[in-house]
Structures are given as C-alpha cells and as structure tokens.
A and B are shown apart, each in its own frame.
Chain A
Amino acid sequence: MSTSPTTPAVHQLPEEHYLNSTYGLRSWLLTTDHKRIALLYLASVTFFFFIGGIFATMIRIHLLTPNGYLVTPETYNKLFTMHGVAMIFFFLIPSIPAVLGNFLVPLMIGAKDLAFPKINLLSWYIYLVGGCFVLYSFATGGLDTGWTFYTPLSSVYSNSAVTPAVIGIFINGFSSILTGLNFVVTIHTMRAPGMTWFRLPLFVWAQYATSIIFILGTPVIAITLLLVGLERMFHLGFFNPALGGDPILFQHLFWFYSHPAVYIMILPAMGVISEIIPTFTRKPIFGYTFIAASSIAIAVIGFFVWAHHMFLTGESTYAALAFSLLSYLVAIPSAVKVFNWTSTLYRGSISYDTPLLYSLGFIGLFLIGGLTGLFLACLGLDIHIHDTYFVVAHFHYIMVGGAVMGYVGGLHFWWPKITGKLYPEFLARMAAVILFVGFNLTFFPQFILGYLGMPRRYHNYPPEFQVLNVMSTAGASILALGYLLPMLYLTWSMRYGKVAGPNPWPATGLEWRTPSPPPTENFDVTPVVDWEAYDFKNRPDLGLTQPSGPALSPAHGDD
C-alpha cells in the first residue's frame, strides 16, 4: 500500500530504478527509455532557456535608457531575434511535450514505454542537430530577421547567418513531428486495460491535441523556411517581388503553422494545470469532458485563425472579417477551461503546496493573456496596437506567464516522481511568489507602452516611454531571480532532498502507483484501471478520509 499521510512513513528509494539500472555515458546516449530521454531533453531545453534568458537580460538592460548604450542597433536586432528563436523553437515548443510528456504519457496510461522507443531517441538527436545549426548561426554572424523571418528582409536583405538558422529549424521540425506521431500511436494503442478514453488524465488529452498540431502544422513551417533558404541561396523567386514572388505569401505560410504553434506551447501547460488542481483540491476536476473537448476544439479551430496576424498587410477586408470572427471562436474553449479550473476549487480541500501556487498563478496570467488576445482580434483596435509592445505583452503573458508557469509548476509536481526526492517546500513557494510578482512588473507596463504607441523591436525609443521601460527592466531582474532559484534548489534536491516515496501528495494518476523513481519498465505488473480520473472517493489505497457534511444536490453531479 502506498503512503498514508497520517503515518509519515520514512520512505526509501527503491533498490533499482530507471536512473541506476545501468551506468555510464553510453547507457544514457543510447537509451530508449522514455524517462531517460525525457531527462536528456530536460538538460537540452534548459540549456536553450539559459541562452534565451541571457539574450533577454541584455535586451532589458539595453532598454533602460531611451538611446540604449549597451549594444549597437545590429546587435540589438540579433539579440531579440536569437532570443525568440531559442525560446520558441528550442525551449518552449519542446519543453512540456518532450520533457514532461515523454516522461509521463506512458506512465499515465500504464504502458512500458512509447510505441516507438528508438524513434523517440532519434527525435532527440534530430533536435540536437537542429540546435547545433542554430547555434552555429548565432556564433557566426548571428541572426537579425526577427523570429518571424518576414520576407524579403530574411530572404534577400539581411546580412546575417539566415541560412544555417532556417536549416536548423527545418531539421528541428522533424523532431516535433516524430514526437507527435509517437504520442498519437502510443495513446491510441497502448492504454492499460480499463484505461478508456474518458478515464485518461487531461494531461494526456492535451498531449494528444498537441501532437495533432505537431503532425499537421510542422511540415508547413519546415517547408516555408526551406523556401526562404532556397530564395536566399539560389535566388528562386518565391517571396521576393523583384523576382516575381509575393512577400505576403510567406506570412500566410508562416502563420499557418505559427498560430497553431502558440497552442502547441499552451495546450500542454493547460494539461499540467488540469492535473495539479484536482490533486491539491482532492476532488475530481469540474467539467472533465468540457476540458478534454476544449483541447481538441482549440487544436482544430486554431488552424483557421492564422491571418489575424495580418490584418494590416492589406489583406482583403472580407478575409479580415472572417479571421477576426474565427479568432473570437477559438477564445471560447480557452475561457471554458478557466471557468472549469476555477470551479474545481469550490468545496475543495485546498493545500498551499507549490504546484498549486503555480497553477493559480497560471490561471491569473493566462486570463490576462487570453483577454488581451480579444483586444488584438478586435479589428478596429488592432489597427492601433498591432506590432506594438501591446502584442509583446500579450504573448508573454500567455507564453511565459502561462506556458512557462505551467512547465515549472509541472516540474515541481512530478519532481518527486522523476528524481525520487522532494524539493525544499518553503524555498519553492517563495520562488513561485517571486516569479509571479516579477512577471507582472516586467510585462504589465508593456501593455501601456503599446497603447501609448511604442512599436516593438525598437533599440531606442522616445524619452517619454522611459519610466515604463525602467519598470519593466526592474521586473525582469526579479523574474530572473525567480527562475534561478528553482534551477538551484531542484538541482540541489536531486542529491540532498528528502526521499519522496511513491505518492507524496497523494495523487490519483497511474504514474503515482509505481515507485519513485519508477523502474525501467515502469510497472512491475501491468495495472488495471477501474476508477475514473481524479476519483478520490473510491480509492482507499490513498489513505484519505472521505468528506462529511451536507449532501450535495444532484444538480452538482455528485456521483
């Protein structure tokens, strides 16, 4: 029987687990164990996060004064471009799927591994090769096109190392596609007996939706960037009007992937939140089917809104109307999730553990990010705020406030499973609060800057914008502390943390039914699932007392 919180049992690490079953560099670099591959990804995405973070720090320092003395205009442009490329393509897109998803999807559905373990390892190598090309580009001339690679700037006019960068992103795309394919097949075919679709943890639903986007969207960006490379190298006219091409075509192709890609970044985080909230309120999630279905709805509708990034390119008014309407449509499933998470707190047994703090932070920040998306989708308003700091603030609220908070929260939640050790709780709560405060101080002023008219990607700016920029930089230094702390104490805890035991919270998922860290083959015997997701009621093994108090009305769906 697993842990019972009333008798704080002294746990011991299992004798043999996936971390110590074999030793040596070879055993890691040639591993096909999804859990080890997840850790390889963890190390590599952290590396890119660090690089992207250094660029961001330099950007913020430069913007302390209107005329920015730190770097030259060329360098500034390279900094924000390389920041975007590192963060989006090499950190945020792979982060939750390739680290947490890789580790958890098989465990959550009761499988021994992913469907194609060798392809899983291949994905990581492909990611590395892509990453090397991009690093090569950064080191030899840098990249100054913006992460959006708009033509003909990228394909003709830029003097920076565009070709290796687009090759790197092209290659990296295959890593995403293979990961997506692996997840889809695994989720379809390898669920344990009794693990029906509607018993799947919502994290798995989210990974499934994300995988669909990986598979359908990534080929488009890969080919598009390849065309940019071809136009650059061989002067083939795809996008350059002087060669008979059309620069707007590039934007259509780019956003056809990159809008769905924003959902690649946020959906998995929504999955994480949907795991954490039931665990720390000890009750089933409110509106399971609505949360699951909204993930799929987002993945599908997300493919039909891309031209909302192009309202002011001169696109036809009718196209603008259609894409604006569809963008409002995609906002509704996001709203549904927020309402359901909030309602889950109602009559819960809420603990103040770190993962929950991250989740609540996530809801707050995602809410602001999502609501400001409505501002941008509003045609009349976008005329003014398009391509200003308002957009910068919007997507950071969602991608950093939302997705990264979800990722860090998820790392804390599953850290005991991954390493078998507990992190220091007090420090962790502090870090969560520091992150939340630092984040808002960094990015909220940018909404105001944007409405006042400060365009994005400016290395210098009119003096009247200085106060807000200084606030933003001050916030960024707090934010940096907020990120450094978890990096330090999580690493520390791997060695010195308290032993966690199989199910420290306790949580209901299958991954908590096996030792921490799990054995290489995940489960000693294939589990059989006979409970619904997040069901704390019919789980005597968790050692919890059942609720007392007034019975619930049937309208509340009490089972």
Chain B
Amino acid sequence: MQAQLPFYPDQASNFAPSVDALMTFLILVSLFFAVAITAAIVFFFFKYRRKSENEVGYPIHGDMRLESLWIIVPAFLSLAMFGWGAVVYVDFRHAPQDTLDIYVIGKQWMWKIQQPNGRREINELHVPIGRDVKLVMASEDVIHDFYVPAFRVKMDVVPGHYNTMWFRPTKAGTYRFFCSQYCGTNHAVMGGWVTVMDPSDYAAWLSGSSGTDSPLVAGEKLFTERACVTCHIGNGSGRAPSLNGVYGGTVRLADGSTVTADDAYIRESILVPSAKIVAGYQPLMPAFQGQLTEDQILSLTAYIKSLQSQPIPATGAGVLTTGKK
C-alpha cells in the first residue's frame, strides 16, 4: 500500500501495510453494497411514491433466484475477508525465530519496560529498525493492552498469563503507544512513546544504559537469594529436578501427562508448584505466589531459559526432550 489515505495513521511496521490493505479491501466491498442499497432505496422511494390515496402496491412475494444470489455472493465475499484476515492474524500471532525480546510489564497506570541488556524504561520503548522485536508482556494487577497504532499491533496484557506480540519496525520516528484495555482511573494516561531508531543508534542508546542488571543476571542472583539453588542443584542430584535444558522441552508429569515447558509453565511452576508435579519428585517446592514481583518472575524465567546451554543431566528429571536446537 503506497498511497496512504488521510485517515490512515503512519505506517511504521511490517504489519501496517498489510492491515491497511485489508482495510482498503473491506472499505471497497462495503462501499459497493452501501452505495448500491442506498441508491436502490432512494430510487424506489421517489419512483414508487404513492400516487393516489387508495392505491396499493404490486403483490410480489419473493424470488428464489434473487434470494440465492444474495446468500451466495455475500458468503463468498465473507470467505475472502475471513481468509485474508486470517493470514495477517496468523502471521501476527507467530513470532519468527531469533527475535529481540523485550519485557513489558503493565501496572496501574504505567508501563515498565526492560531491554535485553537490562536497560529499563518507563512509558517509553526504544526499538531498532528492521529487527524482529518480540514483546513479552505481563501484568501486575488488572488487564491492560499494549497498542501502537502506527505499527497496527496490540495485545492484551493479562495478569496470570504471558502474552507476546511481535513486529518489525520499518520507519524511524517516535510514535504514540496507548493502553487500550480499560484498566481503571488513569487508563487514558497510561501511554507513552515508541522510538524507532537506526540499529547503530539503538546500540549506542542501549550501551548508554544506566547499569541495571540484565534480566538474566538479575535472575541468576535471585536464584541464589531465594534459595532455589539449594534444591535445584545443577546436576539434578538434589531433591529437585535440574533446570538445565528444561525450557522449551517436554516435561513428564506425575500424573503421566506431558507438558511443554514454555514461559507459562515455568511461571506456574514457580508460583504454584503443586499445580503440575514433575514425575519422580515430591511436591516439596514452596509456592512463591505473591512473593515475587512480575519483574522478578521474568528475570527468573530468563535465567532458567539461559540454562539451556548447560549440560543435560543424564538421569532423574522428567525431561523427555530438551529445547536445545
């Protein structure tokens, strides 16, 4: 979509042109029907005006051919809209490999954002042009929604869930982002600016970082501070399964079922360990529900994720396959 209509916002991501093209298609189809029907109504309205008080209309009860026509034609057009819309959506919901992962935490009424190297921002987001960026999002209280109109992307940020969304910025500039899920008193001011930068500027900006720990480093520290390490000993010889290589793999549970160790599973295993017990282990682990902030959970997850590169224990843990590529 090159030609931009005045009521289309800036196009600054890979999704903007595809969403706008869809919009144009739907506007054209709708215009056709709206104009055709309005024209018919106006025409009939004047043409068949009642000429004398007592006149009645011609009794026409219906026409099967017309009825089938106006069932079938809209059905096909609908299918086209559905199909095209589905393509864009499926693309949006499946992030490519090798993304730049940025953590986003929503809370009443601000956004806390952490870059991969630990640089934190509040109500601001810096991203490089041309890189596939994935936002991993969590909420500390109610449901929020991260919405960047210029990117044509949004996704709810739901407490108790991780939602992710991805995009590839295509145009340098600053764009507004909003919270678009009503979240209480200051919902309308829970927004900020996305800055899209050249990769080199972005790198420079990142390294000007104010020196907080990256999620990985923070997670490693927490792992010791919170005594996870006392049970989860590296080689799996402790009372608890080794976490090496768990992330991304398949875990066998005590009840015989299996589960994929994604963000949501790791999160649940930390907060409510009793929900899913790893096969071969006792439910010893204390629940950390309410004891860790969303930041800390994200850091721990990042750390556990990084353990993929560690050696995989030969025995013991319920790991069936690992997430190692």
Contact = CB atoms under 8 A, between A and B. Distances in A.
Interface string A355-396: 000001001100110011011011111111011100000000
A543 B38 CA distance: 33
B60 A552 contact: yes
A545 B66 contact: no
B84 interface: yes
Contacts of A371: 30, 33-34
Contact of B272 (A244, A346, A349, A535): A244
Given A347-B60, A348-B57, A452 B7 contact: yes
B63 interface: yes
Nearest to B40: A342
B159 A241 contact: yes
A382 B84 CA distance: 12
B240 interface: no
A146 B180 CA distance: 13
Interface string B1-38: 00000011100000100110011001000100110011
Contacts of B67: 287, 290, 336, 340
Contacts of B88: 379-381, 383
Nearest to A329: B78
Contact of B90 (A317, A368, A546): A317
Contacts of A384: 19, 23, 149, 152-154
Given A152-B141, A363-B41, A536 B22 contact: no
A112 interface: no
A471 interface: no
Contacts of B314: none
Interface in A331-356: 331-332, 335-336, 338-340, 342-343, 345-352
Interface in B103-150: 108, 141-143, 145, 147, 149-150
Nearest to A150: B143
B49 A352 contact: yes
B50 A380 contact: no
A461 B272 CA distance: 40
A150 B182 contact: yes
Interface in B56-71: 56-63, 65-67, 70-71
Contact of B159 (A152, A281, A324, A535): A152
Interface string A433-471: 000000000000000100111011111111000000000
Contacts of A379: 82, 85-86, 88-90
B311 interface: no
Interface residues of A, number: 103
A325 B142 CA distance: 30
A493 to B, nearest CB: 23
Interface stretch (B183-191, B209-217, B246-254, B277-285): B183-191
A363 B37 contact: yes
Given A6-B54, A332-B71, A336-B71, A324 B86 contact: yes
A322 to B, nearest CB: 10
Given A314-B156, A374-B81, A375-B23, A387 B181 contact: yes
B58 A283 contact: yes
A180 to B, nearest CB: 29
A56 B38 CA distance: 30
Given A77-B185, A242-B289, A350-B44, A388 B57 contact: no
A332 B184 contact: no
Nearest to A153: B142
B163 interface: yes
A313 B159 CA distance: 11
B147 A457 contact: no
B324 interface: no
Contact of B8 (A311, A328, A451, A547): A451
A547 B51 CA distance: 12
Interface residues of B, number: 89
A51 interface: no
A14 interface: no
A380 B89 contact: yes
28 contacts: A77-B184, A77-B185, A150-B181, A156-B142, A248-B158, A284-B61, A286-B61, A287-B67, A314-B155, A317-B90, A321-B86, A321-B90, A342-B37, A345-B40, A346-B44, A346-B60, A350-B45, A360-B45, A380-B87, A381-B19, A384-B149, A451-B23, A453-B9, A546-B56, A547-B58, A549-B58, A552-B58, A556-B63
Given A312-B156, A342-B41, A451-B8, A378 B181 contact: no
A383 B56 contact: no
A43 interface: no
Nearest to B91: A380
Nearest to A532: B61
Given A336-B70, A339-B37, A345-B44, 20 more contacts: A6-B53, A73-B188, A77-B184, A150-B143, A153-B183, A283-B56, A283-B57, A320-B93, A343-B60, A347-B58, A364-B41, A378-B26, A380-B85, A387-B182, A448-B7, A455-B180, A547-B57, A556-B63, A557-B60, A559-B59
Contacts of A191: none
B239 interface: no
Q: Residue among B26, B50, B58, B86 with the most chain A CB within 10 A?
A: B58
B89 A349 contact: no
Contacts of A458: 187-188
Q: Which of A157, A348, A375 has the most CB of B within 10 A?
A: A348
Nearest to A80: B182
B178 interface: yes
Contacts of A451: 7-9, 23
A513 interface: no
Contact of B160 (A153, A247, A332): A247
Contacts of A146: 182
B55 interface: yes
Contact of A332 (B26, B37, B78, B145): B78
A74 interface: yes
A246 interface: yes
A459 B51 CA distance: 53
B56 A381 contact: no
B173 interface: no
B145 A387 contact: yes
Interface string B255-297: 0000000000000000010000000000000000110000000
B53 A5 contact: yes
A537 B44 contact: no
B154 A387 contact: yes
Nearest to A461: B188
Given A342-B40, A459-B188, A383 B9 contact: no
B53 to A, nearest CB: 5
A545 B55 contact: yes
B13 to A, nearest CB: 11
Contact of A378 (B8, B75, B85, B290): B85
A547 B81 contact: no
Which 6 residue pairs spanning A and B have beta carbons closest together? A453-B149, A380-B88, A241-B160, A283-B57, A379-B89, A378-B85
A477 interface: no
Contacts of B152: 383-384
B199 interface: no
A146 B90 CA distance: 30
Contacts of A549: 58
Contacts of B154: 312, 383-384, 386-387
B92 interface: yes
A340 B158 CA distance: 44
A158 interface: yes
